[in-house]
Amino acid sequence: MLTRNQLVAAAGLGSLALLAGAFGFQYIGGLAPCQLCLWQRWPHAAAIVIMLAALVLSGRILPVLGILAALATAGVGMFHVGVEQMWWEGLASCSGNSIAGLNVSDLLNPNVAIAAPIRCDAIAWSLFGISMAGWNVIVSLGLAVLWLMAARKPA
């Protein structure tokens, strides 16, 4: 039977592993993240901070916040999967030819190389037919269960 702190550590380290994997795909694998990919990272970063606090402080509030962080990234991931599968339309900023964030002088200067926007509706990598966003949903729901188990344990 795992203790509260062991469950908290497992959940937080799971988020750390997913975040490390995302950065690995980006910086080692050369797969630039789209806007939805970036949004999925923030709740994992929050979960790591929550883990550190929950290992020091007792109570159920922090594990509940961990649940919310895991469910938030799973929710964004599920939306992302829907965009990838063409179940619904994605964000204008990442599903087609957006020039948001570029200034006029760069757009008019032929010597400036402007990268194409990273599309949220294109699957950059998959394993067993499941995209990175899909794996984030699956693993994050498992992390939410760990956080729930931790919240139910006495501090």
- Domain containing 17 equals 4-152
CA pair distance 110, 95, nearest whole angstrom: 24
Q: 54-82: buried (b, 16+ CB within 10 Å) or exposed (e) per residue?
A: beeeeeeebbbbbbbbbbbbbebbbbbbe
Q: What is the dihedral of CA 11, 12, 13, 17, to 10 degrees?
A: 100
Q: Give the pTM.
A: 0.81
**Which run of H or of E encompasses 130?**
strand 130-131
Q: What is the pLDDT of residues 47-105, one digit of tens each?
A: 999 999 999 999 899 999 999 999 999 999 999 999 988 888 877 766 555 555 566 77
Strand (E) or helix (H) holding 131: strand 130-131
Non-local CB neighbours of 41 within 8 Å, separated by 6+ positions: 19, 22, 33, 73
Domain count, the chain: 1
For the stretch 111-132, pLDDT in tens is: 766 666 677 888 887 889 889 9
Q: What's 57's domain CATH number?
A: 1.20.1550.10
Contact 94, 35 (CB under 8 A): yes
**What's residue 13's pLDDT?**
97
